[in-house]
Amino acid sequence: MKQRRLWSMNDLSDEKVEKLSKKAGISKLLAGIFLSRGVDDPDYIKDFLNPSLDKLHDPFELRDMEKAVDRIVKALRQNEKILIYGDYDVDGITSTSILYDFFRRQNADVCYYIPDRLNEGYGISMAAAEKMPEMDVDLVITVDCGITAFEEVKYITDNNIDIIITDHHECRESVPDALAVVNPHRFDCAYPFKELAGVGVAYKLLEALSKKMNIPGFERQYLDLVALGTVADVVPLLGENRIIVKYGLPMIEKTSNVGLRSLIKVAGIENKEINTFLVGFVLAPRINAAGRIGDASRAVRLLTTDNEEEALEIAKELDEQNIFRKQNELEIMEEAVNIIETGIDLQREKVIVVAGERWHHGVIGIVSSKITERYYRPSVLISVDGEGAKGSARSIEGFNLFEALVHCGKVLEKYGGHEQAAGLALKPENIDEFRRMINEYADSVLDEDDLVPRMKIDVRITKEDMTLENCKELKLLEPFGESNPPPVFRYDNLKVHEIRPVGQDSRHAKIRFDDNGTLIDAICFNGGGLTDCYELSDIVDVVCSMEINLWNGRENVQLNIKDIRPGLAVERQNKFYFSLDRCIDFIIPQEDNIVDEVLAKLQTVEYPGGIAEAISAFLAEGGKTAVLVNSPESLEFVENALKKTSLFSRNKYDVFYSSVPQDNIKEVSVVVNPHPEGALLSKFDRVILFGAWMSKDYIYQIVRKIDLKKVYVYNKIIIDFTNDDIILQRQDMAAVYRYLKSCCQQNNQVVLKDLFAVAREVSKKYGISMNYFKVKRAIQVFEELSLLNKLPCGEREQIIVLNNMGNTKTNLENSCFFRSIQMLGSG
């Protein structure tokens, strides 16, 4: 919760949401979620919400599937020896397991081979290929690997062994010269769904075999393992993957697989609803532990044994090794963080490169992921072992690791991977040069904004959306996973009604919000520190999920907080008064006839469609338009008007306070409290004055430096600023002074770090309307009356020394500053 995150959300048209809701027969909330994810096809939505195994594509649409099935059937009939060549991760383990079990049930002569992660690495190694003739095998079937093993495949076929490759990784234009290559990513493969996991391709092979062997549907008994491998491999849970996982998860709960049942028991999740989280973060790590630390073939034995004692023994071994893996991971993490915090300048280095002696190769990838998550920077963890060093890297959005490694190629012995994850090998003496080169590359492609994590938000919600019916409908989107994350919402302008720490060591925060009289419950896991940041009556905006909470047999809707920050309304108010403070000094009284003469020359415009139609009409003429406002209400009105039109999105207009950046002039710029000297208004093709203004003199100071032919008034000039917003009353002055006295420490001093916070505290403590502008002006009045002195203290902080702590009354009229502020109220 501490790291600053950018909230990213598409603005959706109410009209589009309403239209899709009716066509697809879903709520407006669900329609908004689909639209935010780029989906507007009602038929697609109906299929998505109603997945069916009958909608899986024909496996024979995969290139070479017919050849692969015919060769396997021949091997089964002639009792040839079949070798399944797999991989050491969960995808490879489950792929191997379902094929091995299927062939064994057909009384085939079948065996499997799982390469060693440390000694052989991923895929078919030449060392492994050289063993195959000695194993006296007739047919090799690869799963989850083999698509780049050109030399190894040639060696195998030269030794009169047929090989069928089933894989799901990206292909080159050519493929190895195997008897059959089944991979949806083949350039010459027209299979409709390309994103199957390795175990998904293996499942399609079983589906095709079942059809060919007249046992249709036999493959469906393996959907529990197929779902397990699919979730663990983090492929998009869309299309066929979604169907597989949707049907596979309930099968995992009631699995007949002895080994999987033992693993569930050892993991402590018996009698729990199995979801993708439990699969990905509880079951999968234990299976992966077999390959990370030890012999991965044990995991295949676990998932293919019928012996309950053996299954329980292996499950316990994997559980213990997973504990050891986590301990090893924690030690490496602590060591790596210490190196980063004490030896790396994160202001200068965008990519974190950390090296350690003899870090476990099977663990550094996990730690690299956690380092990247913690610091939101690409990271490379390198294990140095004697004269060699191996590394594992993870990336962030917008930084292609593989291209970065290509840039560093001359100092690397070996490297490979893709945009988000990669592996490498180099000599220890080249680590420093590698660090320099990869950061050189990062400087050329990343800027500071790229190093700020983004939270993708689906839609805004209000209290009207907080219903049990909506929560239950959201469950139709499950199973959640890659490319189909749980919906994330934004809820604005919530008042903190109650906040308290809960859980062990007060790690979490329980919050109750007040939305105009409606109380809303919320929980923030690992957010116990929020109780030090927020107080009762604070206004906040939150990013959250929405869920059903069951307590004492009663169901109610609660928010699960993902991020929280001071409310946008508060932030906008702060910006408004800060910019108002900058421009207020320019309200220099002029002779009325001069001001009125200039303002009379301004053109007036008005359209039936309001200010949005006026702006649209101007845009049709070309050029850039500035809309000037001088009140919070006017700003809100203009923004709401723009957001309701399909013409405008955040990349076509923006809101600026006081001045417009010279290099960022949008088609439409809404300028709040324009600074007469620095707003760059002369750069625009036309300028529109809108809403209420605090003074004719202020308007005069703005327009007198612009070609009046470019200036328009929408409807009419309104001089009607709310006095309470800017005019200091005696009770305001008294409240600020009492607050300062209550905060005094030794030597009658008080340190003010944030005048915005002071304004909020004065408002809450004394029940009055207070803002930054009035607090700052009150302090200036007190300084003029010698009631206090200000001492410099950094860029924003102020040290206030009260000179008169007694109760001597002071005549505020003795302050010229106070009198000038009062005059603002008279126009």
Q: What is the pLDDT of residue 723?
A: 61
Q: What is the pLDDT of residue 807?
A: 58
Written as six digits, the tokens of 45 are: 């939505």
Interval 621-649 mean pLDDT: 82
Residue 120 burial class via C-beta count within 10 angstroms: exposed 0-12, middle 13-18, buried 19 and up: middle
Instruction: Look up residue 627 and give its amino acid.
Output: V
**What is the pLDDT confidence band of residue 648, given thresholds at 50, 70 and 90?**
low
The SS3 assignment for 336 reads helix
Does pLDDT of 97 surpass 70?
yes
Q: What is the pLDDT of residue 724?
A: 67
**What is the pLDDT confidence band of residue 62, given thresholds at 50, 70 and 90?**
very high
Q: What is the Cα–Cα distance from 677 to 427, expressed in whole angstroms?
A: 59
Interval 705-715 mean pLDDT: 91
Beta bridge partners of 540: 494, 566
The 10s digit of each residue's pLDDT in 191-207 is 999 999 999 999 999 99
Sorted by sequence, the CB contacts under 8 Å of residue 92 that are 6+ apart come out as 86, 114, 143, 144, 145, 198, 296
CATH node for 55-319: 3.90.1640.30
Q: What is the pLDDT of residue 541?
A: 93
Written as six digits, the tokens of 195 are: 């994103």
Does pLDDT of 418 surpass 90?
no
Per the CB < 8 A criterion, the answer to whether 392 and 365 are in contact is: yes
Tell me the HSE value of 218 on the side-chain side, using a 13 A CA sphere: 19
- Domain ranges in the chain are 6-11+456-563, 55-319, 344-451, 570-721, 726-824
Interval 129-141 mean pLDDT: 95
* 101-to-128, 219, 303 alpha-carbon distances in Å: 22, 11, 9
479: preceding bond cis by omega (within 30 degrees): yes
Interval 143-147 mean pLDDT: 93
Please check whether the domain covering 344-451 is classified as CATH 3.10.310.30.
yes
**What is the pLDDT confidence band of residue 651, given thresholds at 50, 70 and 90?**
low
Does pLDDT of 1 surpass 50?
no
Q: What is the pLDDT of residue 824?
A: 58
Please check whether the domain covering 726-824 is classified as CATH 3.40.50.1820.
no
Of 506-510, 600-604, 798-802, minimum mean pLDDT range: 798-802
Q: Which residue has the higher pLDDT, 459 or 572?
A: 459
Per the CB < 8 A criterion, the answer to whether 248 and 293 are in contact is: no
The 10s digit of each residue's pLDDT in 166-182 is 999 888 789 999 999 99
570-721, CATH topology level: Rossmann fold (3.40.50)
Interval 558-575 mean pLDDT: 85
Per the CB < 8 A criterion, the answer to whether 267 and 323 are in contact is: no
Residue of 248, 193, 242, 247 whose CA lies nearest to 58: 193
The 10s digit of each residue's pLDDT in 462-518 is 999 999 999 999 999 999 998 999 999 999 989 999 999 999 889 999 999 999 899
Q: What is the pLDDT of residue 646?
A: 57
Does pLDDT of 368 surpass 70?
yes
Q: Which residue has the higher pLDDT, 130 or 3?
A: 130
pLDDT > 70 in the chain, percent = 94
**What is the pLDDT confidence band of residue 305, given thresholds at 50, 70 and 90?**
very high
Does pLDDT of 431 surpass 50?
yes
Does pLDDT of 593 surpass 90?
no
The SS3 assignment for 814 reads helix
The SS3 assignment for 346 reads coil
Written as six digits, the tokens of 140 are: 């090799």
Across the chain, mean pLDDT equals: 89
**What is the pLDDT confidence band of residue 705, given thresholds at 50, 70 and 90?**
confident
Q: What is the pLDDT of residue 751?
A: 85
Interval 511-530 mean pLDDT: 93
431-434 contacts, C-beta under 8 A, 24 or more apart: 431/353, 431/355, 431/382, 431/384, 431/389, 434/353, 434/380, 434/408
Interval 608-627 mean pLDDT: 88
Strands in 489-534 per DSSP E: 489-502, 508-515, 518-524
Interval 309-319 mean pLDDT: 96
Q: What is the Cα–Cα distance from 16 to 618, expressed in whole angstroms?
A: 26
Q: What is the pLDDT of residue 752?
A: 86
Residue of 790, 765, 776, 792 whose CA lies nearest to 733: 776
**What is the pLDDT confidence band of residue 239, given thresholds at 50, 70 and 90?**
very high
Write down the architecture of domain 6-11+456-563 according to CATH: Beta Barrel (2.40)
Q: What are phi and psi of 794, to 5 degrees?
A: 75, -170
Q: What is the pLDDT of residue 123?
A: 81
Q: What is the Cα–Cα distance from 686 to 622, expressed in whole angstroms?
A: 10
Does pLDDT of 745 surpass 90?
no
